[in-house]
A and B are shown apart, each in its own frame.
Chain A
């Protein structure tokens, strides 16, 4: 049973911000939103996670709506190296198991 819904694919222009949406309407109060990405032929890479406040790190920003039913991952200045499958995952903080869905295939074009 899928806990998150993401678009199958999206394109973005190099140098522009990439906004990746994720719906998680059944999220529980103790569940975090995690984002990972997987560049072709590599293992997944942790990007960011949050509970209810917006978060920012050197890679991206995570915007979570007030009702926590959806979120957006923002890559501020997409580069060709950001081309990857991006996974939005929800889960409790005390559970190491991550349930990956199909993710969004993001293609950054020059």
Chain B
């Protein structure tokens, strides 16, 4: 059984650029959530997708957007990057409520 995989693991962007992060969910999991974790803080919920539809969103601006594909994999897109967007972005898949399986994350640095 393959776990949650994310790519890329590290990337560096400059302010104003756009970034796409990718996530492959654990086999059979139909729900994907994205979290942002700033240094020294707990993860903060961005949004979740269920069967290709956004199914809940945290307190993040519209320049954070996402997609879920028929195979349940997902993308997180961030436009007009700001310095404060520097963080670890975590993807989690789930089948049962509350039991999330997280990937290792994509560490984004915005210069």
Contact = CB atoms under 8 A, between A and B. Distances in A.
Contacts of B55: 96
Contacts of B35: 100
Interface in A71-110: 85, 87, 91, 93-103
Nearest to B107: A41
A99 B97 CA distance: 14
A94 B100 CA distance: 13
B72 interface: no
B99 interface: yes
B103 interface: yes
A102 B48 contact: no
Contact of B44 (A85, A87, A93, A100): A100
B73 to A, nearest CB: 16
Contacts, number: 59
Interface residues of B, number: 26
Given A43-B92, A44-B90, A100 B99 contact: no
Interface string B37-55: 0000111110010100001
A100 B98 contact: no
B58 to A, nearest CB: 7
A40 to B, nearest CB: 11
Contact of B45 (A43, A85, A93, A99): A99
A85 to B, nearest CB: 8
B43 A44 contact: yes
Contacts of A101: 42
Nearest to A41: B104
A98 B98 contact: yes
